[in-house]
């Protein structure tokens, strides 16, 4: 299958000279996690919730409000793109090898005609073939976790170093919640709004994981099928689900894991 048959043609873009607040409004309004960035309608970058969380949590920008940051200073400039005739497995391989969550799709005139994300690939993981594959065969077992009493800045650093967009919050092996790039992004923005600039550097260290995490996260079991997990992801918009036995966390199944499976089956 060519990628043009899977991509979304409804492309929401943001201009590189707009400020970060504009991007945040678009992300929230359209319930997406990333936006292609344009300049005079030409693709010049891409910006994601993870990019925003990483930038707002850095020491260089730690006290700067979103309204004073331009898209161009936060976006990723080296954007991978794919032609609309590229095969599914080739696009999946590109995304996996480069650790990217989406790629703009270009026509033969190098004009952006769509975008494809891991979430689009997840829609393929529903059907007979995926009814026969269980979570334990695909899930990630080596977890990056944080505890409820860890600092927000520690959670950001852990996610950055592990190249992940979500981490389970665990205490004594028991799942207490989840923290995602979206949670981090919103926490940093809310913090800037509530705390005067001169106090931010000191007080950011007081924000804990338990203050921002999502409690009672949706979970799955090792014996669930990939079809079942894909349906949950499609219905909820979640990028990953903790895998539990009782209340103990034994792994996580993410869109990346499903993308890897699809790439393997398609190639």
**For 25-34, 222-231, 252-261, which range has the lowest pLDDT when averaged over its residues?**
25-34
Contact 170, 249 (CB under 8 A): yes
Mean model confidence pLDDT for the chain: 92
| Percent of all residues in the chain with a pLDDT value above 70, rounded to a whole number | 99
Position 39 confidence tier, pLDDT thresholds 50, 70, 90: very high
Tens of pLDDT, residue by residue over 68-87, are: 888 998 999 999 999 999 99
pLDDT given for residue 42 in this prediction: 92
Decide if pLDDT at 62 tops 70.
Answer: no
pLDDT given for residue 247 in this prediction: 77
Q: If you average pLDDT over residues 44-60, what whole number do you get?
A: 87
Separation of CA 181 from chain center: 6
pLDDT given for residue 140 in this prediction: 95
Q: Give residue for tokens 């970058």.
A: 45
pLDDT given for residue 136 in this prediction: 97
Tens of pLDDT, residue by residue over 210-256, are: 999 999 899 999 999 999 999 999 999 999 999 999 878 999 999 99
| Percent of all residues in the chain with a pLDDT value above 90, rounded to a whole number | 74
pLDDT given for residue 66 in this prediction: 72
Position 200 confidence tier, pLDDT thresholds 50, 70, 90: confident
pLDDT given for residue 125 in this prediction: 96
- Look at strands 214-215 and 248-254 and give their pairing: unpaired
């Amino acid at each position: 299958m060519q990628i043009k048959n899977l991509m979304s043609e409804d492309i929401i873009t943001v201009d590189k000279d707009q400020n970060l607040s504009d991007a945040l409004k678009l992300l929230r309004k359209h319930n997406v996690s990333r936006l292609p960035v344009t300049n005079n309608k030409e693709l010049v970058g891409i910006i994601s919730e993870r990019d925003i969380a990483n930038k707002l949590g850095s020491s260089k920008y730690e006290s700067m409000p979103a309204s004073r940051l331009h898209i161009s200073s936060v976006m990723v400039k080296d954007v991978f793109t794919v032609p609309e005739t590229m095969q599914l497995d080739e696009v999946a391989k590109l995304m996996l090898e480069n650790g990217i969550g989406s790629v703009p799709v270009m026509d033969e005139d190098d004009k952006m005609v769509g975008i494809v994300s891991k979430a689009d690939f997840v829609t393929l993981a529903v059907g007979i073939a995926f009814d026969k594959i269980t979570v334990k065969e695909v899930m990630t077992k080596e977890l990056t976790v944080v505890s409820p009493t860890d600092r927000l800045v520690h959670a950001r650093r852990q996610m950055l170093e592990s190249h992940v967009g979500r981490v389970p919050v665990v205490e004594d092996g028991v799942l207490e919640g989840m923290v995602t790039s979206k949670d981090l992004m919103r926490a940093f923005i809310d913090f800037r709004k509530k705390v005067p600039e001169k106090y931010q550097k000191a007080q950011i260290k007081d924000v804990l994981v338990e203050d921002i995490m999502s409690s009672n996260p949706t979970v799955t079991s090792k014996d669930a099928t990939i079809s079942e997990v894909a349906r949950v992801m499609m219905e909820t918009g979640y990028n990953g689900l903790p895998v539990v036995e009782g209340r103990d966390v034994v792994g996580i199944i993410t869109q990346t894991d499903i993308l890897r499976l699809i790439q393997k089956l398609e190639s």
